[in-house]
Amino acid sequence: MEKLWGGRFTKETDSLVKEFNDSLPFDKRLYQVDIKGSMVHAAMLGKQGILTDQEMKEILDGLGAILADLEAGRLTIEDGSYEDIHSFVEAKLIERIGDSGKKLHTGRSRNDQVALDMKLYIRSEIREMDGCLKHFLGTILRVMEENLDTFMPGFTHLQKAQPVTLAHHFGAYFEMFRRDREHLSSLYERMDTCPLGSGALAGTTYPLDRAFTARELGFIHPCRNSMDGVSDRDYLIEFLSALAVCQMHLSRFAEEVILWNSDEYRFVELDDAYSTGSSIMPQKKNPDIAELVRGKTGRVYGDLFALLTMMKGIPLAYDKDMQEDKEAAFDAIDTVLGDIRLFDGCVATMRFRKDVMERSAKRGFTNATDAADYLVGKGVPFRDAHGIIGRMVLDCIEKGKALDDLTLEEFQAFSPLFDSDIYEAIDLQACVEKRLTDGAPSRLSMEKEIQDCRAYLALPDIGRDLTGV
């Protein structure tokens, strides 16, 4: 296969060198954005009179046909055939339209080409990821709406702390994934400069219209400095950081699903379609999906670190090290997208054992703070009330009782201030419903929160105003 740069060379590339150097096996997924960028570049060259109208038309038609053939499977990208996706597309164009195809690369380098391709690709993946996160948030919101009265223990230190509802618990995850979408959307907005026209590093002598190509490709303006244009991968690092945080959220959630699905908790039952069995132990129904989501977190963190480390020693401007950005970025994207989709399905089909959750909230003294607050209401300083209830809890543990099981006489043995209204004050439902502050688990507070979540999900999606890129 003829190379893009064969002229200066007299010997063939060593076959191992070729294999080591080629990026086609992994950058072939950039074909759509590569062709799109080339089409806009060619249209600009025509507009500027650098190509004749005829040449421009042949190139645009040729590129359009290559894209259509690739989409339809009439043309396939074979590993080893070309160095990278840019060489592949250009070679196919020349094969099909001859000499005018050789003019496409006028005023352009693969350095600004690949910088553009990656930026376009990441923007489209941000939109994809955002759609998946939004769908997942819809699943979480549905669980919230259906479980305003599903009482469960809230934990700190993995010890039962105070009663909450399932709606409230899931509301916390809604906030995490909402923030992930916000990271992505602010990054998308800031990825507004177009590297095309930076050339190899020092711009070009042709009268390019960089503002035109930037606009046509959905950017606000061309990047200011051409050396930065070809060597900036900051947005990629920011993107992988956002993915690492999102993956951390998924992993925390997965960890809870694994715990809740255990025989010790029995808060949830996973759907058969989202669980697997054991080859030896017939009774097993394992939460493999959640475990894999948790397990894949290391990969995504690793991808971020690979990129940070790859960039740290690169002198300006482009160096081949940067080709390594692709596998790290693609792996992180594939992993996180897969995780969100799978885990969304796992959560959507999970059955909640409301009775077990409620029973668990009733045990474990989750109403102890409310019992102390009751005494505070009768004028006891909180510190003293804390001490009294602490002694009662100790006594209950010895007797194997809950606070609610004590008789009024037993209550009064600890403080004469207890009256029959103590039972109402420490009732599970009352404990939750009294928590009326914004963001608290009471039905009233949660209804407000859910309203806000619904309004948030009705907002327009990231990049909705961009077409076809």
User: Site residues (CB under 6 A) for ligand ARG?
Assistant: 23, 27, 84, 110-111, 114, 318, 320, 322-323, 326
Pairing of strands 193-194, 221-222: parallel
We find the least distance from the C-beta atom of residue 110 to ligand ARG, in angstroms, to be 4
Distance CA 278, CA 81 (A): 44
Residue nearer to ligand ARG on the CB measure, 231 or 297: 231
We find the least distance from the C-beta atom of residue 451 to ligand ARG, in angstroms, to be 47
Q: Are 296 and 339 in contact (CB under 8 A)?
A: yes
| Catalytic residue (choose from 105, 251, 278, 360) | 278
Q: Are 377 and 288 in contact (CB under 8 A)?
A: no
Residue nearer to ligand ARG on the CB measure, 88 or 343: 88
| SS3 readout for 401-435 | CCHHHCCHHHHHHHCCCCCCCHHHHCCHHHHHHCC
End-to-end CA distance of the chain: 30
| Catalytic residue (choose from 157, 198, 249, 360) | 157
We find the least distance from the C-beta atom of residue 369 to ligand ARG, in angstroms, to be 58
Residue nearer to ligand ARG on the CB measure, 122 or 368: 122
Collapsing DSSP to helix, strand or coil, 260 comes out as: helix
- Please give the torsion angle defined by the CA atoms of residues 49, 53, 56 and 58, in that order, rounded to the nearest 10 degrees: -160
We find the least distance from the C-beta atom of residue 326 to ligand ARG, in angstroms, to be 6
Residue nearer to ligand ARG on the CB measure, 90 or 180: 90
Collapsing DSSP to helix, strand or coil, 345 comes out as: helix
Distance CA 249, CA 183 (A): 13
Residue nearer to ligand ARG on the CB measure, 310 or 446: 310
Note if 157 is an active site residue: yes
Distance CA 321, CA 331 (A): 17
Give the list of residues 6+ apart from residue 128 with CB closer than 8 angstroms, or none. Answer: 337
Q: Are 367 and 311 in contact (CB under 8 A)?
A: no
Residue nearer to ligand ARG on the CB measure, 276 or 309: 309
We find the least distance from the C-beta atom of residue 333 to ligand ARG, in angstroms, to be 16
We find the least distance from the C-beta atom of residue 85 to ligand ARG, in angstroms, to be 8
Q: Are 122 and 329 in contact (CB under 8 A)?
A: yes
The set of catalytic residues is 157, 278
